[in-house]
Structure formats: structure tokens, C-alpha cells
Amino acid sequence: MSRVTRRIALGIGAAVTLALPLVLDSGQLSIYILLGLTAIVTVGLSMLMGYAGQVSLGQAAFYGIGAYTAGLLALHGWPPLIGLVAAPLAAALAALVLGVPLLRLRGHHLAFATLAMQLILLSIADNQAWMGGSIGLQGIPQLSLGSLEFDTDMSYAYVTWIALAGVVLTARNVIQSRPGRALRALATSEVAAESAGIPVGRYKLTVFALSAGFAGLAGGIYAFYLGYVSPGSFPILLSVGYVVMVVVGGLGTIWGALAGTAAVTLLVQLLNQLGTRDGVPGWLPSVLSYAVYAVLLIAVVLYLPRGIVPALVSLRRRADS
Amino acid sequence: MSDFLSYVLNGLAVGCGFALLASGLVTIHRVTGVVNFAQAMFAVVAGLTAGSALGAGLPHGAAELAGVAIAVIAGLLTGLAAVGRRGTTPQSALIVTLGVGILAYAVEIAIWGDQPRSFAGLPGSLEVGGVAIQWQYLLVIGVAAAVFAALALFFARTDRGKALTACASDPYGARLVGIDVLRMSLIAFALGGGLGGIAGVLVTPLQPISFDSDVALIVNGFAAAIMGGLNRPGPALAGGLLLGVAEALVAGYGNAAHQTEIALVLMLAIMIWRAVRTPVVQEETV
Amino acid sequence: MIQVRDLVVRYGSATALDHVSLTVETGELVALIGPNGAGKTTLVNTLSGILRPASGSIEVTGRLAHVPEGRHLFGDLTVEDNLRLGAWRSRDRDPSWLYGLQPQLAELRRRKARTLSGGQQQLVAVGRALMARPDVLMIDELSLGLAPLVVTQLAAELTALHRDQGMALLLIDQNARLAFDLCDRAYVLEAGRNVAEGPCAELARSPEVARAYLGGPVKEIS
């Protein structure tokens, strides 16, 4: 694709997604919002996995940190906007602090360490009275800006859209910056990158914090949107789901993260709707969604190891040439 | 004092379960270089199968064997997915085993539903110095001891066990002497499935399991296995017992809610300590 | 024993072997020489079934064994275990007969392979291959990194096996003089192609071969 056609495609994509909330019914709107929030997380995770070469099985922990930060501040009377700004900052700060020891690990060690981190945080949230224990935080007020109340699904859809656009632009700028290009070397060999004078540790930590910040932002919006968060809202499976979406779409590409998230979320929703029809056993929806996650993940890793979007791009290139 | 003893025994029994899981992780990693995320799934599948078999009227012993047999098959299938395709890197294989674990959720919920299940183990208890020890605990400890001894003999004394080690030690050398590395990898996965299955049928009477019990189990198993660098069964056994006892004591004297955190924090500390001591270059070439 | 005709082997788009032919008759001692990257290791790896040919034919009668470059012993296992696994394909894995032939191996039998010196490791590597009771032994770099005395000892052992049991040998060695001394016939590979072949004595008289491989001005050092 040339630069011009890419710009046009980008414009059309933006216009369509902007217009979409106007025609969706309320059930579809909530899917739209959740899809957008998920995409905010996966764009960050895709950078972490694709550029820093690290698997995080605890990304939902940062989503949770954002949600709890926003929820707690709002419940203590702070203006919602402060909560929304603090959510990504708190998550990024947590990633900076936790990342110093954790990022000394690589590969399956880091995967297990991030999983452990999330389990520990969940257990803490479960046991702390000020965090609401296992019941969580309830009655979180709506997002508002001065006298402007965000009390409709439509308004949250646009908040999500704006947040996602901001995240995509930020990620794009980081990827295209000089450090971003250096990061690409990191995914293949840390030793080679280090000997080329790239401050590997600092860059890894930065990407980790950035991806956590994105997740925290999404978590913040989620808290205001649902008005309720609990440890049960952030299971390990949520983290695993993010990894599935990133791997399916293709590591290290923004488009891959967006496409993977949309494909997996919509497929799971579609099967959910089939599964909740009359006369269908109650366990079917969860069985179907687990099966979709699993089959997609296994098939893509084995047969399209670079993910769907990069595979399509190279197919197109081959067709063009 | 008698409280203390019963906590320790309880912990040893649960720790044996962790150690058995860890030994499966170690067996698979040692031969294939793959960390098998689906390892605890074998335990869940075996426990649930044994429960159903008992419900269908099979006697104890046969039901547990059926559970372990299903776990062996699950291990073999996991191995086929993870290493059956030429050129799958250990990193990709880890993600594949993660996928297999989720796929198992779908199958388990379809067959057994999503509620925890259990079945009765050995009834009664043994009175020693005023402390009542449940027979099931002793069974778990005895079986784990026998399995570890058999495993040690298998790796140290049989040519097949040595061929498995050879595959990990030098895959190219193994192929040159005619060892079928893929076949050995599948054997390792089947063995890992069996070990996980044994853990599952032993532990299910102690703590009910459901499809998603695998997360807590795999974390404890991995924490135990990491003590031996994922390659040595001996330290994995020690690690499992240590974790089991520490968690039982914390649950007994402190707050049961914190017991998994012990394993998690310990695991993180050991991994980071090991990582700090090992230079990056060495790790990449291994 | 071994008959290779028009063998082509590729790594991706790079051609490692380009229509190579080679024969080893029963009980024959054959040297394979050439510079680094000529395709010698690729050829023996293909004969061992590690690599798949793109085209051409390979016929092997009898048992093949392969001592790889870099030895590739099982470092975590003892010498005796390494030897037993050398006979993995056969039922009789008892290395006693080899100990009779090579008493030094009997002394080392309980040592872990990774703790041995380079010369000892090469001895074990050759021993491991012999455990397969091969009709043809392929050795990739016999003398690399070894002291001359050790090389002489290994060479004597191989000659004895050839004499007593009629074992054929396909020897790759950077030290062409050693290879020529030990073998009857030789092939020269360069850039994946056959460039010369014939009896060693004859090849040694060829000025190009002598200059390139037998201590002329462009002698290869590795």
C-alpha cells in the first residue's frame, strides 16, 4: 500500500468507527465499548511482545490497577477527570516499580512472573477492606467534565474512541521514533542489541510502563462505565485473552493488535449469541468461547506464526509483484 | 504441638502433589526444552475422570488408573500440538501449551460442568502419639515417594531414560546415533501427563478441583520445578515439599487467604535471584 | 557401500551441494577435503539423514556411523552411557568389546562426558560411533584441536579396525596431509562441487591440490 492509500484507508476506518455508535443498538454499543477498551490494552501488549520480545501473562493486572485507581479516587470525592488521568499514571508507575526486578527475567520465566504478579495483586485486592475485598468497589459515579455528564452508552463509546485514537497515535510515534527502531532489534537478540549500544534495560522498562499505562487508561474508563469493579473482573483468563488477540493479529503491529482484538471479540460475541438461544444448554457459551480462544491461538502459532495481519500483507505483496 | 504436626503432615501431602506436578514439568522441559503450561490440566482431567469413574461404579484403584490413563493421552496430544510440527521453537510451544490448556477448559466444562468436584479418598486415620493422620495423606506421601524413586531409576538406570536425557543434552548427537528425538519428546509428554495425572487423583480427595484449579496448581508446580532450574527432579521434590509445608503452616497459624502468595513470592524471588546470577549470553545460547 | 550421484542440497535459496558424486567401496579408506564452506559437512549430514537432498540419489548398503564435527557427546551422561547410546539401534549395547580394544575408555567409563579433555572426548566420540558396529565410519574433523600424539593414536586405532574388520572410512580433515596418509583415495570439494578425485598419491602430486591443501602458500588455518 502506498502512503496515500494508507492515509485514505485510515481516514475511512476512523470515519466508519466514529459513525458506528449512531446506528448501534444498546447491546451492540456495549460490545463496541468493550472492544475499544480491549484494543487499548492489546496495542500496548503488542508493542511489549513484538518489540521488547516479552510475553506478559499479567496485563489484566494493570487494567485492574487503572480501574481501582479511578474507582477509589471517584468514591473519595475526587473529580472523575482526576481519576481518569491518575489511572494510566498509577498503572505505569506500578509497572516501573515492578518492572525493575521482573524484567531481569525472560521468556517463560517472565511469563510465569507476570502471571504470579497478577495473582498476588488479585489476592491483595481480595483481602483489603479499603479496596472493598472480594465484593469490590460499588457505586462509582459517572464520568463528568464540569457540568457535562457522561451518562449514556453513546458518550462512553466516544470517550473510548478518543482514548483508543490517542493510544494508537502514541504507539505509532514510539514505533517510528529512533528508540522504536532500536527496540525492534531487541526482540531478536538482546545480546546483539546491547553490544550495539542500545540501552536494553531502560527501553524494555519504558515499553513495559507504556503498555501498562495504556491498560490502566482502559481500566479507568471501564470503572466509570460499569460503575463497579471487583477482583473477579480481572481474572487470569483476561490476560490470556489479550495474548491470544495479539498473537492472532500479529506481534508488534498496531493493525495486528486492532484486527486481532476485533476478530476474536466479535467471533466470541457471535458464538455467545448463538449459545444463548432457547433450548441450548447453559454451559455452551463459555465452552464455545474457550474453544475459539484455544483453536485460534494454536492454529495461528503453528501455521501463521507472524499473525494474520502480517501474513495478509505479505500475501498481498506477493500478489502485487 | 499436635497442631503443628498435623499441619506439617497436611503440608507434606499437598507438597507431594506439587512435587509430582513439578516432576512432570521437569521431565518435559529436560527432554524438549518446553515449559508445559498445560501440566496442571493433566491433574485436573485425571481427578475429574477418576471421580466420574467412581460415580459410574468402578472400584478405587481402577478409577484412579483410568484417570491417569486419560492424563497420559492428554499428555500425548499436548505433545503432538507443542512439538509435533517441525521448527516450533520452545517459546512458541509454550504458547501452544497455553492454548491446549484453554481448549481443555472447553472440554472439561462440556463434560463435567464448572462446579468443583471431589471424591472420597482412603477413609479413616492412623493415631500416632496423639496425632490423627488421615490415611489419604499417608497414601499421597507413599505414592509420591515411590514415583520419585521409580523416576530416578528410570533416568539413571535404563537406556531409554538415558536416551531421553540425551535428546535434551545434544539433540543433534541424539539424531546421529539413531534416537528418534520427536518420539522421545512425545514419550516425555506422555510421561509428564501420567505424572500430572497421578498428582491429580491423589490430591482431589484433599481439595476439590474444578476446571480452573489448574492456575493455582501450575503456579505451585512451576515454583517447585524452578528450584532445580526446571531440569532436576530432586530439587523439585524438595521445593514441592517446602511449599506444601510453608503454605500449610501459614494457613494453620495465619491467614489461609495468603497461602498461595507464599508460593508466588518464593517463586519470584528464586527466579530473579537465579536470573541475576546468570549472564544473558549464556541463557540465549542454551 | 556408499554411492552418491548428482546430489543437490539447498539451505533455503543457497545451494550447498551442487551435483556432487562420491563412492566408497567396501573396506575402502576415502578422504574428503576442501576449504571451509565447501559442503563436506553438508554431505555427511545428508548421508546420515539429518538433511534432505533436493535431488540426486544416495545408495547406502550396510551400517553407517557418523562422528560429527564438535563431537556432540551427551555431556550430562557418563562415558559408558554415551557408548551404550551409540548402539541405540541394536540390541547389544554392552561396550566391553570396545574396552578391550581401547582400554583408555574403560578407565574413563564413569566420568561425565563434559568433564573430559578434547582428546578424550574425541576418543569417546569415535567409540560411540564404533558401538554401532558400522560398515562405514564417517568422521568429520578427526584432528581438529587435538595434540599430534592423540591424533596418531586415533589414526592407528582406525587403521587397525580397517585391517581387522574391513571397516570402510570416509574422513574429513582440515589436515589434508593426515587424510592423505591415512586414506587410499580422496575427493576434493570446493564451493559445493567436485573439483578433483583420485588416489591420494596421485592427487598429492597435482600442483593445485598441493598448493591449496598440503602446506603451500595459501594453507588454510582454522
In terms of domains, do C102 and C4 share one?
no
Strand partners, B126: B133
Chains contacting A (3 or more CB pairs within 8 Å): B
Domain assignment of residue C184, given as a range? 1-62+135-151+167-222
Contact partners, residue B152, CB within 8 Å, separation at least 6: B233, B234
CATH fold, domain B2-285, is ABC transporter involved in vitamin B12 uptake, BtuC (1.10.3470)
Identify the burial level of A279 via C-beta atoms within 10 angstroms of its C-beta, where 0-12 means exposed, 13-18 middle and 19 or more buried. exposed
pLDDT band at residue A321, thresholds of 50, 70 and 90? Answer: low
Pick the closest to residue C128 from C171, C82, C97 (CA basis).
C82
Residues of C in contact with B177 (CB under 8 A): 85-86, 88-89, 128, 132
Chains contacting B (3 or more CB pairs within 8 Å): A, C
Is C81 touching B (CB cutoff 8 A)? yes
Please tell me which of the candidates A113, A123, A236 has its beta carbon nearest to residue B261.
Answer: A123
Q: What was the pLDDT predicted at C220?
A: 45
Residues of B in contact with A123 (CB under 8 A): 257-258, 260-261
In the numeric block, which cell numbers belong to residue B263?
Answer: 508460593
C187: left (phi over 0), alpha (psi -120 to 50) or beta: beta
Q: What percent of chain A has pLDDT over 90?
A: 35
| Cβ–Cβ pairs < 8 A, chains A and B | 127
Residue A274 or residue B97, greater confidence = B97
pLDDT band at residue B76, thresholds of 50, 70 and 90? Answer: very high
Residues of A in contact with B264 (CB under 8 A): 116, 119-120
pLDDT band at residue B284, thresholds of 50, 70 and 90? Answer: very low
Q: What was the pLDDT predicted at C128?
A: 95
Search chain C and give the residue with CA nearest B157.
C81
Query: Which of A121-125, A249-253, C121-125 shows the lowest mean pLDDT across its residues?
Result: A249-253
In terms of domains, do C173 and C207 share one?
yes
According to DSSP, residue B58 is labeled: P
Contact partners, residue C39, CB within 8 Å, separation at least 6: C9, C16, C17, C20, C189, C191, C192
3-state secondary structure of A46: helix
**Gyration radius of chain A's alpha carbons:** 20
Residues of B in contact with C93 (CB under 8 A): 159
pLDDT digits 0-9 by tens, C193-214: 999 899 998 888 888 888 888 7
In terms of domains, do C144 and C193 share one?
yes
3-state secondary structure of B229: coil
Mean pLDDT of B77-81: 95
What letter represents residue B52's amino acid? Answer: S
d(CA B210, CA B207): 10
Q: What was the pLDDT predicted at A274?
A: 79
d(CA A69, CA B64): 48
Identify the burial level of A141 via C-beta atoms within 10 angstroms of its C-beta, where 0-12 means exposed, 13-18 middle and 19 or more buried. middle
In terms of domains, do C112 and C145 share one?
no
Is A97 touching B (CB cutoff 8 A)? no
d(CA B167, CA B34): 13
Residues of A in contact with B94 (CB under 8 A): 55, 107-108, 111
Please tell me which of the candidates C77, C93, C128 has its beta carbon nearest to residue B165.
Answer: C77
Cβ contact (<8 Å) for C74 and B165? yes
Please tell me which of the candidates B257, B265, B271 has its beta carbon nearest to residue A105.
Answer: B271
Query: Which of A100-109, A236-245, B136-145 shows the lowest mean pLDDT across its residues?
Result: A100-109
Cβ contact (<8 Å) for A120 and B261? yes
Asked whether residue C124 carries a pLDDT value surpassing 80, the answer given is yes
Mean pLDDT of B75-91: 88
d(CA B42, CA B193): 6
Q: What was the pLDDT predicted at A15?
A: 84
Asked whether residue C222 carries a pLDDT value surpassing 70, the answer given is no
Mean pLDDT of chain A: 86
Mean pLDDT of chain C: 89
d(CA C99, CA C34): 34
Buried b / exposed e across B119-156, counting CB within 10 Å, b at 16+? bebeeeeeeeeebebbebbbbbbebbeebbeebeeebe
Is B275 touching A (CB cutoff 8 A)? yes
Asked whether residue C26 carries a pLDDT value surpassing 80, the answer given is yes
Q: How many residues does chain A have?
A: 321
Mean pLDDT of A55-59: 90
In terms of domains, do C81 and C128 share one?
yes
Q: Per-residue DSSP letters for chain C?
A: -EEEEEEEEEETTEEEEEEEEEEE-TT-EEEEE--TTSSHHHHHHHHTTSS--SEEEEEE-S-EEEE-TT----TTSBHHHHHHHHTTTSS---THHHHHH-HHHHHHTTSBGGGS-HHHHHHHHHHHHHTT--SEEEEE-SSTT--HHHHHHHHHHHHHHHHHH--EEEEE-S-HHHHHHH-SEEEEEETTEEEEEEEHHHHHHSHHHHHHHTTSTT----
Query: Which of B46-60, B272-286, C34-48, C137-151 shows the lowest mean pLDDT across its residues?
Result: B272-286
Q: Tell me, rounded to whole angstroms, the distance of Cα A121 from its chain centroid.
A: 18
Q: What was the pLDDT predicted at A320?
A: 66
Residues of A in contact with B215 (CB under 8 A): 115, 119, 236
Q: What was the pLDDT predicted at C221?
A: 46
pLDDT digits 0-9 by tens, A277-303: 777 777 888 888 899 889 989 998 888
Please tell me which of the candidates B101, B103, B257 has its beta carbon nearest to residue A127.
Answer: B257
pLDDT digits 0-9 by tens, B184-208: 999 999 999 999 999 999 999 988 9
d(CA A114, CA C169): 55
pLDDT digits 0-9 by tens, A132-188: 888 889 888 888 877 777 878 888 899 999 999 999 999 988 888 877 777 776 666
Q: What was the pLDDT predicted at C218?
A: 42
In terms of domains, do C186 and C103 share one?
no
Q: Are B32 and B211 in contact (CB under 8 A)?
A: no
Interface-testing mutation among A108, A195, A292, with chain B (most B C-beta atoms within 10 A): A108
Asked whether residue A304 carries a pLDDT value surpassing 70, the answer given is yes
In terms of domains, do C55 and C76 share one?
no
**Gyration radius of chain B's alpha carbons:** 19
Is C50 touching B (CB cutoff 8 A)? yes
pLDDT band at residue C131, thresholds of 50, 70 and 90? Answer: very high
Is C209 among the domain residues? yes
In terms of domains, do C114 and C103 share one?
yes
Pick the closest to residue C88 from B185, B30, B150, B176 (CA basis).
B176
In terms of domains, do C147 and C109 share one?
no
Interface-testing mutation among B175, B176, B187, with chain C (most C C-beta atoms within 10 A): B176
Q: Which of residues 41-70 of A touch B (CB under 8 A)?
A: 55
Q: What was the pLDDT predicted at A306?
A: 80
Mean pLDDT of C142-163: 88
Q: What's the number of domains chain C is made of?
A: 2
d(CA C95, CA C86): 10
According to DSSP, residue B276 is labeled: H
Residue A51 CB neighbour total at 10 angstroms = 26
Backbone angles phi, psi at C6, to 5 degrees: 50, 45
According to DSSP, residue A141 is labeled: P
pLDDT digits 0-9 by tens, B120-172: 887 878 887 777 888 888 999 999 999 999 999 998 899 999 999 999 889 89
Asked whether residue A102 carries a pLDDT value surpassing 50, the answer given is yes
Q: Are B116 and B211 in contact (CB under 8 A)?
A: no
Q: Tell me, rounded to whole angstroms, the distance of Cα B138 from its chain centroid.
A: 19
Q: Do chains A and C touch (3 or more CB pairs under 8 A)?
A: no
Search chain C and give the residue with CA nearest B231.
C76
Is B112 touching A (CB cutoff 8 A)? no
Mean pLDDT of chain B: 88
Residue A120 or residue A319, greater confidence = A120
According to DSSP, residue A148 is labeled: E
- Helix (H) or strand (E) segment spanning residue A83: helix A80-102
d(CA A194, CA B281): 11
d(CA B268, CA A99): 12
Asked whether residue C37 carries a pLDDT value surpassing 60, the answer given is yes
d(CA B262, CA A130): 22
Pick the closest to residue C32 from C184, C152, C222 (CA basis).
C184
ipTM score: 0.89
d(CA B212, CA A250): 28
- The CA distance from A192 to the nearest CA of chain B, in Å, is 10
CATH of the domain at C145: 3.40.50.300
3-state secondary structure of A1: coil
Cβ contact (<8 Å) for A119 and B215? yes
Search chain B and give the residue with CA nearest C89.
B178
In terms of domains, do C121 and C192 share one?
no
According to DSSP, residue A233 is labeled: G
Search chain B and give the residue with CA nearest A305.
B92
Is C214 among the domain residues? yes
In terms of domains, do C30 and C13 share one?
yes
d(CA C19, CA C6): 4
Is C68 touching B (CB cutoff 8 A)? yes
Pick the closest to residue B36 from B257, B221, B274, B161 (CA basis).
B221
Q: Angle at CA B100, nearest 5°, toward B95 and B105?
A: 125
- The CA distance from B226 to the nearest CA of chain A, in Å, is 9
Search chain B and give the residue with CA nearest C73.
B173
Q: What was the pLDDT predicted at B226?
A: 87
According to DSSP, residue A234 is labeled: S
Q: What was the pLDDT predicted at A271?
A: 83
Residue B3 or residue B23, greater confidence = B23
In terms of domains, do C42 and C125 share one?
no
Cβ contact (<8 Å) for A190 and B280? yes
Q: What was the pLDDT predicted at B163?
A: 94
d(CA C46, CA B192): 33
Mean pLDDT of C82-88: 95
Q: What was the pLDDT predicted at C13?
A: 83
Q: Which residue has the cell 600424539?
A: C149
Mean pLDDT of C42-54: 92
Q: What was the pLDDT predicted at C175?
A: 87
Q: What was the pLDDT predicted at B1?
A: 58
**Strands A143-145, C64-67: pairing kind:** unpaired
Contact partners, residue A24, CB within 8 Å, separation at least 6: A32, A157
d(CA A235, CA A253): 26
pLDDT band at residue B285, thresholds of 50, 70 and 90? Answer: very low
d(CA C170, CA C193): 17
Backbone angles phi, psi at A252, to 5 degrees: 75, 10
Is C121 among the domain residues? yes
Mean pLDDT of B15-21: 94
